[in-house]
Structure 1
């Protein structure tokens, strides 16, 4: 067993503290889940040139298919991540990746991943003797072949001394549905937001991910009021999640006054009265207020759920920053019949 893997295996996972997402983190995730694009839906990459000091770094990658049999590492680590952020059956459906890269004294391990046809979820861990802070920041998201756009959210927390656990969710947009994703992840630096210290490195991962089998149902359910029109277009069912896709149009007068406005579903109640957390995947919106490619996921819906009543909220946002209660307005609920 290589040294990088030994460092992971020797960690006592029972000492890792479970932490829930704070209100600030949840708001940050919601902010990251929104993206604003022009109506031509083009994908643009911005490259920033910077002068940096040269550092000596080295990287190595290992595929470790036997680690799961040596230690129930994945299951134990995922128990430490906020359960509201991960579906209950994630472990049962996820594909084992077990790749470790070591660079500049920092080990990054991709444990496993799953793709439900809408969102890619990847569980990973970091180990280092360096102080990365309570909530380290990684500068790079996944590069998925064929994606024309993407939104994402992540959770990364210090779980024990020198050990960090995280989950990245990324929702790519494609011109056509893909059965297999080809994924590259090449982080270049990790930052400690508490001290503003940055650690450069050369980590590089490449892996593929099959799409979970599922069923799709095309719908056309609309709701209109004075501020906006919402239309639910599709529901995707898999064993991992129920994903609802929608689009909307916000009154141009509102967009002129609040150009960063958007609509998010914030409440879901089934026909038994049970409420579910909304996992917002975000989407794109044009300057005239047309929101497209928006979706959200519901986890752990029982088989006997026949309908869900969904409540959306319009966010009146003029500029980036904190969203306060006076900037929100609830819209009329929409009931969706589920035909799984």
Structure 2
């Protein structure tokens, strides 16, 4: 049995120890940006709902399998009592890396990495010489692909023992599909807690090459909205990991947010779908919607958009404006 075969173990036959409420709470709250300045980041990005595609992989019903934990790749240690198709995608297609670097008494192992043509995900383990008393919820440093800096869009981390934490982060490389091998360099400098306090610092350096599993992109021209809000879905990009719907429109970036409900042609309802909006110099906004499609027979998505209007000073909701539904063909 190889490493990836462990994911197929029947968890009903293994004695499981459930994570503490504290750990579950921190997992659910750990969708953080990897940036040292949250204020600067807010000038460029805004998130609505749960943006991180990996959030639901690690929330609720997470269990430890102590008998096999030390023999498994890191992400495969983050198993659920029920099957999770997106976690299975990572398990099936991730490259085993096992690079270790040590700095200032802390070792980091870059364990697995996955690249589907647009998205990169990396799992890792941080082991400190002394106990880390609070979760290192995000890291600062450089993540580069082919020499270009990337923003980390989602980050999950949980406690393995007193001095060891295991985590995973995901970054979007491009809105265009890359069909060739990429060079990835990850150079974390420190790990910070929820109050932006430095918990661990050093200088680590990892370099690797990743070959895409394959994705496709197509231009579309699907308008949606009403007389007040004119929006357009202009591109679809789909890989094994995520399907992304790109849009643009005349939203006020400071006070108006696009929210969506999604249902597919098989009747599946997608919850906690994230919408990311990017401020544009033209006065319009651009953005994208990320959703995991679990079944290749799913060919149509029904998108029901809503505009959430907030007070710019208090950030409280002022109004919800429902918009007509649209159909998006994935074929």
The answer, yes or no, to whether TM exceeds 0.5 is yes
The aligned length equals: 286
SS in 1 for 2:250: strand
CA distance in 1, matches of 2:213, 2:220: 21
Counterpart pick for 1:291 among 285, 289, 293 = 285
Does the CA contact (< 8 Å) of 1:233 and 1:245 recur in 2?
yes
The reply on whether 1:169 has 2:170 as its aligned counterpart is yes
Deviation at 1:199, TM superposition (A): 2.8
Aligned match of 1:271: 265
Q: Where does residue 5 of structure 2 map in the other structure?
A: none
| Contact preservation (8 Å) 1:87, 1:240 | no
- Structure-2 change in CA distance of 1:76 and 1:95 (3 Å): closer
1:72 to 2:72 alignment: yes
8 Å Cα contact 1:281-1:295 kept in structure 2: yes
Give structure 1 stretches of 5+ with no counterpart: 1-13, 39-67
- Cα offset for 1:164? 1.2
Q: Which residue of 1 aligns with 2:205?
A: 204
Residues 301 and 330, structure 2, Cα contact 8 Å, conserved in 1: yes
Per-residue CA deviations over 1:9-55 (Å, capped at 9, x if unaligned) read xxxxx7683855669727756x98x86459xxxxxxxxxxxxxxxxx
State TM-score, norm by structure 1: 0.68
CA gap of 1:338–1:106, structure 2 versus 1, over 3 A, is same
From 301, 319, 322, the equivalent of 1:308 is 301
**Quick one: structure 1 residues 306 and 318, their matched pair in 2 at CA, closer, same or farther if it must change by over 3 Å?**
same
Whether the aligned pair in 2 keeps the contact of 1:312 and 1:330 (CA below 8 Å) is: yes
Q: Which residue is 2:323 aligned to?
A: 331
Instruction: Give the conservation status (yes or no) of the 8 Å contact 1:185–1:205.
Output: yes
| Separation in structure 1 between the aligned mates of residue 89 and residue 82 of structure 2, nearest angstrom | 14
Other-structure match for 1:118: 118
Aligned to 2:58: none
Distance 1:119 1:274, change over 3 A: same
Q: Is the 8 A contact 1:152 1:168 kept in 2?
A: yes
Q: Distance in 2 between matches of 1:326 and 1:27?
A: 26
The match for 1:50 is none
Return 5+ residue gaps in structure 2 as ranges.
1-15, 46-67
Q: CA deviation at 1:201?
A: 0.7
In structure 2, distance between residues paired with 1:23 and 1:71:
23
Q: Equivalent residue of 1:188, what SS?
A: strand
* Whole-angstrom CA distance in 2 between matches of 1:269 and 1:122: 29
